[in-house]
Each structure stands twice: as C-alpha cells, then as structure tokens.
C-alpha cells in the first residue's frame, strides 16, 4: 500500500443490519450545527468510567450500531469517546443510544475532543447527555454538527449537554437553542407487533424510517438518509 493510499483510508465500525423496536414516543427532532468547545477540567479520582469505543485515529465512522446503557449506576458510561485534542473527522451515523433511568442508566453516548465530530441520523433515548462536543487544540473545536437526530426523554435534551454538569464551569460555547428544534410531538418508528413471518417478507426500503405522515417524515429525521425516496416507496407499497 502506498503512502497516498494510506492517507485515503478510513476506519469504519459498521453493523450491516439496523433494527429498531420502539413504538410511539414523544420526541424532539433536532437539526443543529456549528459548535465551539473550550477547555474543561479533569474528573476527580473517585469517578469510574467505562468506554465502549475509544477513537484514537483521524477519519473514523461509527455506523449502524445499537448501544445500551450501563447497569452500574455509579460508573460514567461513554459509548464513543475521543480523548486526543488533535484528532479530526469522526462521523457517528445511523446509531441508536438507548438507556433506562432505573435499569440501564446512560451517562453520555458520545464525548469527543478534537475537530469535526458529526452526529447525524441517530436516535438518543433516556440518556443523561446525548453528546458532548468538547475541547480541541487551541481551545476551540470547529467543524462539528448534529443533524437529523431524534432526541427523546433525555435528562438534557439539547443534544450538546454541558460539560459543567460533570466537570465544572467549562464546556461547549454553544448552548441549546429552542429555535433549532424543528417541532415536538408524537412519532412512530415501527409497528408494535413483529411476527416471525414478517422477518421473511420483502418490505419497502424505507419501512424502518419515520412513518409517513408523522413527525420528521418531511424532514428526513431518523436512521435512514434517503428519506425523500423511501417515503415515496413506502406510499407506493
């Protein structure tokens, strides 16, 4: 492999099959971008941390994975964590982050230093802080985005959360802006009943996207990216 080929490589964590089981939920559909983070103080020695995927390279994609909360309530859990402030280009797409306040508390699905953290077409359910856009070299993190995500029943529904909740008076410069929430209401992700026979039936391409005529249908919010095309296929089928 040549040096040029190495520079064009990308590390990808991918699950080929994306499945969801949530029926009707109250939700906020978010489209927010352009975030700036700054310095933060380290945690205390008494804190315990559990990291699922620790990213230490540039140009990384995490796609199509369903993450669950941590059954140990005193441990801060991070599904995707990037510590190095000099790293760039981390895409988290089409993932589900699902917690439960009593059984599977979920501290922070995504926490990343560095530049270029893009979170899109993800679903966050019952998490403390859906994502923290943190610090970078020079004190400001740029090139970040959170878009086409569904965020529901979280402790901080901003999608950005504040690092001050865990580490003191430091965190992202951009705070939650009500103007950037498209609308709130009821959405349907999937029919409540799934039979064994249904698993072998050919479905329209978009049948796991936000149901036609419900919140987010016309916005393209949800796990799948080609919302406009899948809506037409769903209606035709």
| pLDDT tens for each residue of 162-217 | 333 333 333 344 444 455 555 556 555 554 555 666 555 566 666 666 777 777 67
pLDDT at 203: 63
The whole-chain average pLDDT of the chain stands at 68
Nearest Cα residue to 13 out of 79, 57, 60, 52: 60
pLDDT at 188: 54
User: In which band, very low, low, confident or very high, does the pLDDT at 230 lie, cut at 50, 70 and 90?
Assistant: very low
Cβ proximity of 129 and 102 under 8 Å: no
Which pLDDT value is given to residue 73? Answer: 74
Backbone angles phi, psi at 136, to 5 degrees: -155, 170
Judge whether residue 151 has pLDDT over 70.
yes
Q: To which residue do tokens 């991070």 refer? A: 78
13 CB-contact burial (10 Å; exposed 0-12 / middle 13-18 / buried 19+)? middle
Residue 235: enclosing H or E segment and its boundaries?
helix 227-236
Note the pLDDT of residue 19: 40
pLDDT tens-digit readout, 12-71: 877 644 444 444 444 444 444 333 333 344 444 455 778 888 898 999 999 988 888 888
Q: What global pTM score does this model have?
A: 0.63
Q: Which residue has the higher pLDDT, 89 or 130?
A: 89
Neighbours of 186 (CB within 10 A): 10
Mean pLDDT of 136-164: 69
Q: Which tokens belong to 226? A: 């080609």
Tokens 């109250």: give the residue: 26
State yes or no: pLDDT of 148 exceeds 60.
yes
């Amino acid at each position: 492999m040549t040096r040029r080929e190495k520079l064009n490589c990308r590390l990808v964590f991918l699950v080929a099959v994306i499945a969801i089981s949530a029926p009707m939920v109250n939700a906020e559909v978010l489209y927010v971008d352009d975030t700036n983070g700054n310095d933060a103080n380290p945690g205390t020695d008494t804190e315990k941390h559990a990291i699922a995927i620790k990213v230490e390279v540039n140009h990384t994609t995490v796609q199509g994975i369903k993450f669950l909360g941590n059954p140990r309530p005193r441990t801060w859990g991070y599904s995707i964590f990037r510590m190095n402030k000099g790293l760039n280009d981390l895409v988290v797409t089409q993932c589900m982050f699902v917690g439960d306040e009593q059984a599977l508390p979920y501290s922070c699905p995504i926490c990343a230093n560095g530049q270029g953290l893009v979170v899109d077409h993800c679903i966050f359910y019952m998490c403390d802080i859906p994502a923290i856009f943190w610090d970078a070299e020079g004190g400001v993190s740029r090139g970040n985005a959170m878009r086409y995500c569904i965020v529901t029943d979280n402790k901080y529904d901003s999608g950005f959360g504040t690092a001050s909740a865990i580490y003191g008076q430091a965190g992202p410069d951009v705070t939650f802006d009500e103007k950037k929430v498209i609308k709130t209401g009821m959405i349907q992700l999937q029919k409540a009943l799934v039979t064994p026979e249904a698993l072998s039936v050919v479905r329209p391409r978009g049948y796991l996207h936000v149901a036609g005529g419900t919140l987010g249908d016309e916005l393209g919010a949800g796990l799948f990216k080609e919302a406009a095309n899948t809506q037409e296929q769903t209606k035709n089928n």
